[in-house]
Structure 1
Amino acid sequence: MATNNLKNAVIAFLAPLPSILFYLTFLHNQTSSTGTLSSIWAWCNHHPLLLANALFFFNVDVLFWVISQVLSSHWMIDLYWTVIPVMFVHYYRTHPLADYNWWRSTIAVLLTWVWSIRLTHNYFRRENWQWGAREDWRFTDMNAQYGKQWWWISFFAVYLSQQVFLIGICLPLYAIHSVNVPLNIWDFVAIIVCISGIVIAYYADTQLHDFVSRNNKAKEVGRPVVPNLDEGLWRYSRHPNYFGEQLWWWGLVIFAWNLGQGWTFVGSFVNTMCLAYVTTLVERRMLKQDFRAEAYRQYQKTTSVWIPWFKSSPTGGKDKKA
Structure 2
Amino acid sequence: MDVLFLFLIALGLSLAMIAAWAVQRRTGASGWIDTIWSFAVGIGGIVAILIADGTQERRLAAFLLVAVWSIRLGSHIGSRTKGGGEDPRYAKLVEEWGDNASKRLFLFLQIQALAGFILVLAIYLAAFSTASFPHSLDLIAVVIGLLAIAGEALSDRQLARFRKKPEAKTEVCEEGLWRYSRHPNYFFEWLYWCSWPLLALTGPSPFAWAALLAPALMYWLLVHASGIPPLEEHMLRSRGEKFRALQRRVNAFFPGPRKEEA
Matched, 1:209 2:160: yes
Aligned 8 A contact 1:92 1:173 in 2: yes
Give the 3 Å change call, closer, same or farther, for CA 203–74 of structure 1 in structure 2.
closer
Aligned 8 A contact 1:193 1:247 in 2: yes
Partner of 1:100: helix, strand, or coil? coil
Q: Identify unmatched segments of 5+ residues in structure 1.
A: 1-44, 220-224, 316-322
Find 2:223's aligned residue among 247, 270, 276: 276
**Aligned partner letter, 1:235:** R
- 1:164 alignment partner in structure 2: 114
Q: How does 1:100-119 map to 2 (within 5 A)?
A: 100-119=54-73
Counterparts of 2:245 and 2:3, CA distance in 1 = 56
- 2:10 alignment partner in structure 1: 53
- 1:234 alignment partner in structure 2: 178
Matched, 1:295 2:245: no
Give the 3 Å change call, closer, same or farther, for CA 148–100 of structure 1 in structure 2.
same
**Aligned partner letter, 1:204:** S
Matched, 1:94 2:43: no
Counterparts of 2:151 and 2:257, CA distance in 1 = 16
Residue 93 of structure 1: CA displacement? 2.8
Matched, 1:248 2:202: no
Residue 115 of structure 1: CA displacement? 1.4
Counterparts of 2:118 and 2:9, CA distance in 1 = 11
Q: How does 1:1-322 map to 2 (within 5 A)?
A: 47-57=4-14, 59-71=15-27, 74-95=30-51, 98-127=52-81, 129=82, 135-157=86-108, 159-183=109-133, 184-215=135-166, 227-259=171-203, 260=205, 261-277=208-224, 278-289=227-238, 292-315=239-262
Give the 3 Å change call, closer, same or farther, for CA 199–310 of structure 1 in structure 2.
same
Equivalenced residue count is 255
Partner of 2:218: helix, strand, or coil? helix
Deviations 1:277-320 (A, max 9, x none): 2212211211112xx322222211111111111111123xxxxx
Counterparts of 1:75 and 1:230, CA distance in 2 = 24
Counterparts of 2:150 and 2:140, CA distance in 1 = 15
**Aligned partner letter, 1:301:** R
Partner of 2:256: helix, strand, or coil? coil
**Aligned partner letter, 2:101:** W
CA radius of gyration, larger in: 1
**Aligned partner letter, 2:171:** P
Residue 167 of structure 1: CA displacement? 0.7
Aligned 8 A contact 1:172 1:255 in 2: no
Counterparts of 2:172 and 2:89, CA distance in 1 = 21
Q: What is the TM-score normalised by the length of structure 2?
A: 0.88
Where relative contact order (Cα < 8 A, 6+ residues apart) is larger, the structure is: 2
Counterparts of 1:238 and 1:72, CA distance in 2 = 28
Counterparts of 1:299 and 1:187, CA distance in 2 = 37
Counterparts of 2:73 and 2:20, CA distance in 1 = 20
Counterparts of 1:94 and 1:147, CA distance in 2 = 43
Aligned 8 A contact 1:237 1:309 in 2: yes
Give the 3 Å change call, closer, same or farther, for CA 266–298 of structure 1 in structure 2.
same
CA RMSD in angstroms comes to 2.2
Residue 83 of structure 1: CA displacement? 0.9
Percent identity of equivalent pairs: 24
**Aligned partner letter, 1:109:** F
Q: What is the TM-score normalised by the length of structure 1?
A: 0.72
Give the 3 Å change call, closer, same or farther, for CA 116–67 of structure 1 in structure 2.
closer
Residue 200 of structure 1: CA displacement? 1.0
Partner of 2:187: helix, strand, or coil? helix
Aligned 8 A contact 2:13 2:44 in 1: no
Deviations 1:170-208 (A, max 9, x none): 222111232222021000010111111111111111110
